[in-house]
Structure 1
Amino acid sequence: MSVVKKKKHVSKKNKKAWRKHCDINDVEEFLEDQRLEERLGKFDTKPDSELFVVDTQGDEHTKAKEKTADETAKVVAKPRSAKERKRLQLSQTPKCFEVLLPTSKVQDPNAKRNHVNPVGSKPTALSKINEKKRVETGKFQKKVEVARKNRKIALDKKRKTKAIRNTFDLDLWGQDLPEAKGIPETLCEEFVPTEAQLHNVPTQRRLRPKPPLPKTVVTRSAVDTPHPGISYNPSFKEHQELLQEVVQHEQKMMKREAHLLRVTNGMFRKVTQEQKENQWREEMSVGLPQPHNPANDPSDESDNEYKAVNPPVKNKKKDHKARRKQREQLEEKERLKRLKIDKKKITDLYKLRQLQSSIKKAESTQAEERTKRATKKTIEEATALPALSAHKTPKKEPDFVDPELLTGDLRKLRSTTNLLRDRFESLQRRGALAASKVMMKKKRKIKSYFKAGHKVTEKDIEKYTTRSTEKK
């Protein structure tokens, strides 16, 4: 059952407010239909001859016609050479430029657009005059000379690299010397430490190697493909699989919420106001002298006999018999304890094989778990995102389309997610952008005051009081 939301009455004074609070989905759908009609043409304006064909001869005639056409095509078609085939392809547009060709039937809104001649078209009268002027001024000649010069320089460079070295005066071990590293001769002494020598190396010849790229940037995972069940026309099996994933995710979230409720509010027992007051009174009256109650006074029950608060204790000593029995009990207890320990030793000897097998099994399981942890750690390190900020990357929530909203037509499908936000979070999850946190501004609590005046009526006062009570 769909819940009918109460309409909000919002001020639409500015353009921004109109854009924010006005629903323009119907207008966008109408414009989309209009653009589709512009591309394909309206069915109302087209004649019946374009839309329908009257078949007067039957299927057999059409099949015979197709056979004859195929036979003639086989007879006419001759095997062409590769040169002829390439020449025929010159007139066709390349596949890479087919995307740039217009597909719609909408006319160009800018009728006075500058026309650019394609490559290979005939030169115009104006282009011929411009070319003639360039030749006369010597611009073409200069360009040819520069190109020839550059070609010659490139060839000389190539020859130099290929030339065989005839002199063998290169010192292979001299690269480790300080002079080879760019350190000045004045500092090449044994009294000057290496740190001071490296500090005075010229800036253009610093001995600082370029750090390699981090593993996370090199082995970054590609964009995750969405689940096929999210499609506007998914199969039943894929849709059910996605539904199960969403259900498991929701159950996990509900379990977490229940746990948080149990360890926070559920820990404390509920107490009524009277019990709370009695408990507070008892706690506050601890240590204070209690009021005298004659009904509960024990002195009235006795026959005026004196009783000490702490009566005297008699020092009654044990005799020899009691001491002997006590000693025998302790000895018997110690004997039973020793007997139990000896019995346990014997049973442990019989259990040696079992203990050995259990230890081996525990060691093997621990080794397997260790290897699993190590492999998991290496995979995580290789595919981990770079720590671009202190915030954690947002986890992807499972997207799901209700079966009632599935249409099978991409035009009628209602978008449930924000595309811009989805792409932004995807870039954060892939490590291309630093993870950020949404910072919401706190709403100010506006206090309302009642301004008294001679024009204020009782109705105005009643309205103000009712409004203030509702807010509370």
Structure 2
Amino acid sequence: MTSVPAAKRKRVAMNRKKAWRKYSNIQDVEDFLEEQRQQLRTGGLASEKSNEALFFEDKTAHRKGQKKSASKSTKPRGPIQHKVDLRIRPHPRVPPIPKALPRQERRKSSRVLQIQAQERKGIYSENKQKRLDEAKQQRTLATGNRKREKELLDERKATFDLWDCDMVKKIKKSGIEADEHFLRQTKKTPAKLPPRYQDKPSKFPAVEIIAPGASYNPSLEDHQDLVNATYEIELKKQKAEEKLDRWHKIPKLSAKQAQATYIDEMSAGLFHDDENQKGDAEDVEGEKGLLPNPPTTFENRKTKKRKRKERALKEKEKEMKAEKRLKIRQNEVYRLRSIAKEMEKEKADAAIEREKRLQREKEREKIPKSLGHHKLEEEPMVIKLSDELVGSLRQLKPEGNLLRDRYKSLQKRNIIESRVWKRGGKAKYKEYEKKSHKEITS
């Protein structure tokens, strides 16, 4: 019989944590910990228990060599107990879990018992009655919604014969005669769009027609009207600039005057004159003579009798004001006609205000909206002066920029926000001569 050679022990360097985790044998430690956990589950650690808890004296044991007498009355054997079933049986050394005591109900106060008795009779408080009414209203709405949904479902159900051709609606679309369902599924019928799908963001036309005076060969009246309109626009701009200049106008001073003013401003408050000192002394004396509350003397002090009279006067005045308000409220019953007239007047004023608001909204539609941080700047009107007019298209010089005109039109129609249009300049290239080329040419 040949002996099997023993496996060669693998030599591993154990000076790294990686080798410890991979090649260390910790099975004995895991067995020890598992045994400790088993002891804790079954009554506690054996090392901490006393000898009486671990061992017991068997007093029924027979002496050595003595045979046990066989009993004639043998008890019937019970069902066979398997070892697997022992694991689910309660352990004799593990105490059972204590049963939770029933929670004692708190004794209700007399006020709570009184409220419950009133609620049994159908008498509820104001807040609870309000909540009950709201809950009832919600239940009614929910019932109505469910009923309405059920009716809609019933309407959607097919209540006609599917194979009856006369019940199917026939539609003729682009030379095809078929039912509505077939055309919808084959994308022959257009989808139903939202009601405001076709609404444009602005009422401005995409292409604005310029004034007739801007033509290459306009009439005299049209050209003069355009010149006058342009003049008015330029005059408004000039007035706005002049107003701004007046606000920011700085007086011109010579260098000597500016230096003197600077010295006076910087030295203000450093030196006191005699007159200022006298004025300050008088102010101090005047301030000392004034007190926030004058001293109370024996003659003008408030006694209890005087305070009681003032309190009675205040209460009487309060009662008189309340009676007056009550009389005014009672007299309003006799002025029902005037109240009706006032209500009619308020309705008429509200209708007028509504019309004005609608008119303002219509006018606001003609004004471009401010969608961004910048304000829309109108382009200057294209105009040719009288000496620049020509009668032939060959000699006409084009003005304006078509791309810029379309760009401003998009901003005016609220399609894009107002922006600052910056024209990008061409990059300046640096010219230099290569060293190698320079050496060759020289």
Give the TM-score of the pair, scaled to structure 1: 0.31
Query: Which one has a bigger Cα radius of gyration?
Result: 2
Give the TM-score of the pair, scaled to structure 2: 0.32
